[in-house]
Amino acid sequence: MVNFTPPSPRCPPHLGPRAPSPQQIPPQPRGGAPAPPSPPTRPGGPRPRTLSTPSRARRPMRRANARVELREQTLAPPTPAPKMVAQRQRSSSCRSRRHLAGALGLLAAAALALLLLQPRSPPLSYGVIIDAGSTGSRVHVIAYRAGALPRLDWTGTASLKATPGLSSFAADPHSAGLSIAPLVEFARRRVPRDSWVDTEVRLMATAGLRLLDAVAADAVLESCREVLRESRFRFQDEWATVISGAEEGIYAWVAANYALGTLGGGNQDTTGIIELGGASIQVTFVTKEPMPPEFSHILTFGDITYNLYSHSFLHLGQNVAYESLHDLLSTKGLKSMATHLIHQATYRDPCTPRGFSRMAGSVKLPVSVLESKAEYRPFAHAVGNFSECRSAVRTLLQKGQEECTYHDCRLGAAFVPDMEGKFIATENFYHTSKFFGLRSKSFLSDLMLAGEQFCHGDWSNIKKKYRSFNEGELLLFCFSSAYIVALLHDTLKVPMDHKSIDVTNQIGGVPVDWALGAFIVQKTPNRTEYSDPSVSYLNNYDSSGLAPLIFIAMVVFTVFSILKWRRPRLKTIYDMEKGRYIITRVNR
């Protein structure tokens, strides 16, 4: 009887060669004759027919097959049921998704907290300051945002200078207002039109107008007020004024310490400032030394009170001192020649390089020297001697010490305490140092060497070397080098190797300009306006500083969670065919 065997189901892989099933053993004919070959299977056709084997031939194979299955069960490691594995994988995947969703939720909450806690930035405002100096007027357009200290926006800040200074219009006051009209127009172009009505414009005159008599100075200021009233900026007549030398020094000190970030800090952290202008010198610094009341100035920022020494030395600026020195030298020469009534005298000029000659300005001699008020035009004989020039400058700086009413007068008849701590030297200190290419630190000893070489040079060679400078500028550098050494070392007792004086006009891109300091003082709220400064500090700083920290922490946590979730999950499987364990990745 012929039986058909149905197709067997697919079986898992087995260890070793697969044992044949009983149905696959071909029948053996009786008598030992070989069985006829099976007909070939037609592609796509039915499976071939096979004859069933006797039961006695099937038994030994069944036993062999049982032995194989027993061996397989012994070697294979126990595995969980397929349903349990799927459930575990689904549970792990759900936990990962919940973990990721929670991390993203925390990140969103941190971003929302950052938006809520971040203080709203105040709108951009503007201020205009006109610095009316002795050699020219400069307008400063300052963009800022209000706060405990105004925060400057340098993208909207600009300046422009016009010459000459307002003091040159003493004989024609009407032209003084016309001279600042281009500066006002420059400010109008820099400030948005809708901000004009809220933008204050102030004019502050310094040593140039301080040298004029009160009537002439007021006439010049009134001419400027007429222009400022028509500027369409906010303006009041008292905002155009002449400031004192002490105010100028204090404003410069504020600007320097604002740029250094020490304004509002301890007294010992501040830096003093020395300005060498064209008509005056300002010296301002914090000191613990007792001072006469006219030199002591109290300045308060926040909870810190500064006891400042500030004084302006009029007539000792570089340009005025240069003229004063030549008047002093020429007067000495004229006095020696007065008995002979020689109308052309020559005096020795050690502060000008050899080879230069010019006729000095007219000098009116006092009646005690000559019998008549004659005008003489003496000639300066340039000898170019640094040491002699320094000695002459020292005499000029000590002029008036006989009138000193204090226990110590280092500069003229004025009191100056010991200069301790760090200092910044600006304006002509910086210009002279830059001309000679000196370092900002320990520049006094280097300046003396550079000045000696320059003063002893020949004027024709100097002009060839410095062709980009005009003669008026070059003439001052021999004098300025000797003047700075005599001022700082010989008069104010600053050591030649002093390393705490930094010669600069900018700090971190912020100009050390007294006009900037005046603006900061005007825009800084008074201490009495805050009932509790600590609350203001927290509201303005702590919340805005805490929110970014929280946000950063949440970002780090989220990134860590995502990386953990993306980390591959592994599963160990025993390969029955190869007889070893295999580590495979499990899809989430």
pLDDT at 541 over 80: no
Mean pLDDT of 317-346: 70
Is residue 275 part of the annotated active site? The answer reads no
Beta-bridge partners for 379: 346, 359
Given this model, what pLDDT does residue 500 score? 86
Residue 266 among known ligand-binding residues: no
Q: What does the CA dihedral 10, 15, 21, 27 come to, rounded to 10 degrees?
A: 140
Q: Which residues contact 126 (CB under 8 A, 6 or more apart)?
A: 141, 142, 143, 144, 156, 190, 191, 192, 195, 198, 199
Please give the angle made by the CA atoms of 135, 140 and 143, to the nearest 5 degrees.
Answer: 170
Given this model, what pLDDT does residue 213 score? 94
Residue 282 among known ligand-binding residues: yes
Binned at pLDDT 50, 70 and 90, residue 520 comes out as: very high
pLDDT at 407 over 90: no
Percent of the chain with pLDDT over 90: 52
Q: Which DSSP helix (H) or strand (E) runs through 325?
A: helix 318-337
HEC profile for 529-556? HCCCHHHHHHHHHHHHHHHHHHHHHHHH
Residue 279 among known ligand-binding residues: yes
Pairing of strands 580-586, 357-359: unpaired
Mean pLDDT of 503-510: 90
pLDDT at 530 over 60: no
Specify the pTM.
0.67
Given this model, what pLDDT does residue 322 score? 94
Average pLDDT of the residues of the chain: 78
How long is the chain? 588
HEC profile for 368-420? CCCCCCCEECCEEEECCCHHHHHHHHHHHHCCCHHHCCCCCCCECCECCCCCC
More confident residue, 336 or 491: 491
pLDDT at 446 over 90: yes
Of 22-26, 218-222, 523-527, minimum mean pLDDT range? 22-26
The model's pLDDT over 411-424, given as tens digits with 9 standing for 90+, comes to 999 999 999 899 99
> Whose CA is closest to 276, among 516, 483, 506, 420?
483
Mean pLDDT of 215-231: 97
Residues 177, 180, 185, 189, CA torsion sign: negative
d(CA 186, CA 201): 12
The answer to whether the CB of 322 falls within 8 A of the CB of 479 is yes
Mean pLDDT of 496-518: 91
Residue 278 among known ligand-binding residues: yes
Of 80-89, 415-424, 452-461, minimum mean pLDDT range? 80-89
Reduced to 3 states, what is the DSSP secondary structure of residue 509? coil
Given this model, what pLDDT does residue 576 score? 75
Residue spans per domain, the chain:
85-117+536-588, 267-508
Mean pLDDT of 481-494: 96
Given this model, what pLDDT does residue 148 score? 82
Q: What does the CA dihedral 495, 500, 505, 509 come to, rounded to 10 degrees?
A: 170
Given this model, what pLDDT does residue 80 score? 52
Mean pLDDT of 43-53: 46
Given this model, what pLDDT does residue 443 score? 81
Catalytically annotated residue among 247, 248, 427, 452: 248
Binned at pLDDT 50, 70 and 90, residue 498 comes out as: confident
Mean pLDDT of 371-400: 80
Mean pLDDT of 96-103: 65
Residue 432 falls in which region: left (phi positive, over 0), alpha (psi -120 to 50) or beta: alpha
Most confident of 92-106, 227-241, 320-334, 350-364: 227-241
> Whose CA is closest to 507, among 422, 419, 424, 439?
424
Q: Which 8-state DSSP code applies to residue 489?
A: I
Given this model, what pLDDT does residue 380 score? 83
More confident residue, 377 or 244: 244
The dihedrals phi and psi of 273, each to the nearest 5 degrees, come to -140, 140
CATH number of 267-508: 3.30.420.150
Given this model, what pLDDT does residue 467 score? 92
Q: Which 8-state DSSP code applies to residue 168?
A: G
pLDDT at 459 over 70: yes
Given this model, what pLDDT does residue 414 score? 94
Residue 384 among known ligand-binding residues: no
Given this model, what pLDDT does residue 91 score? 58
Given this model, what pLDDT does residue 492 score? 94
pLDDT at 534 over 80: no
Mean pLDDT of 299-308: 90
The answer to whether the CB of 256 falls within 8 A of the CB of 273 is yes
